[in-house]
Amino acid sequence: MKAKTKAKNEMKLVIPSNSANESFARAAVAAFMAQLDPTIEEMTDVKTAVSEAVTNCIVHAYRDTIGKIWIEAKIYEDGRLSVQIKDKGCGIPDVAKAREPLFTTGGSERAGLGFAVMESFTDKLTVRSAVGKGTTVTMEKRVAQRYRYDG
């Protein structure tokens, strides 16, 4: 069994599932990630993935109510960023089906591409869910380590 790697730095945030907080969550994770000196593309990828995950909590998990969204981000020595977004909403009955492109429970105005977008903009995506208990989405993105002058 592989030893669990300890995070070099981490942050936690809890926000209500108001749509106004989606941009705040995206900006908070981006600001935390900035210490890795990411490229604009790496930063944009993570911001997009976080937006999708938080939007899923707002639109699907808590549908017509306001609940809490937990966001935890960790940075590891190897330049890996891990972002976990968790809700205690309705849960997903069939995660495999929900991860299929174009599948949605959000009505005709939703594209059903949330998980596909998260997967395409990160290196690893894990989705755990239980009906009536909520969903946890964990995304990992490796940021290229560039030369840093220490003076």
Q: Give CA–CA dist 45/147, Å, rounded.
A: 22
Among residues 21, 22, 42, 52, the one annotated as catalytic is 52
Cα–Cα distances (Å) from 128 to 64, 77, 84, 94, in that order, read: 22, 26, 11, 10
- Reading the block at residue 50, the tokens are 């976080």
Dihedrals phi, psi of 20, to nearest 5 degrees:
-65, -25
Q: Beta 80-87 vs 124-130: how paired, if at all?
A: unpaired
Q: Identify whether the C-beta of residue 49 lies closer than 8 Å to the C-beta of residue 117.
A: yes
146 counts as catalytic: no
Among residues 99, 110, 128, 142, the one annotated as catalytic is 110
- Reading the block at residue 88, the tokens are 């205690």
Among residues 21, 26, 56, 119, the one annotated as catalytic is 56
- Reading the block at residue 59, the tokens are 């639109």
Q: Give CA–CA dist 27/46, Å, rounded.
A: 10
9 counts as catalytic: no
Give the catalytic positions in this structure. 52, 56, 110
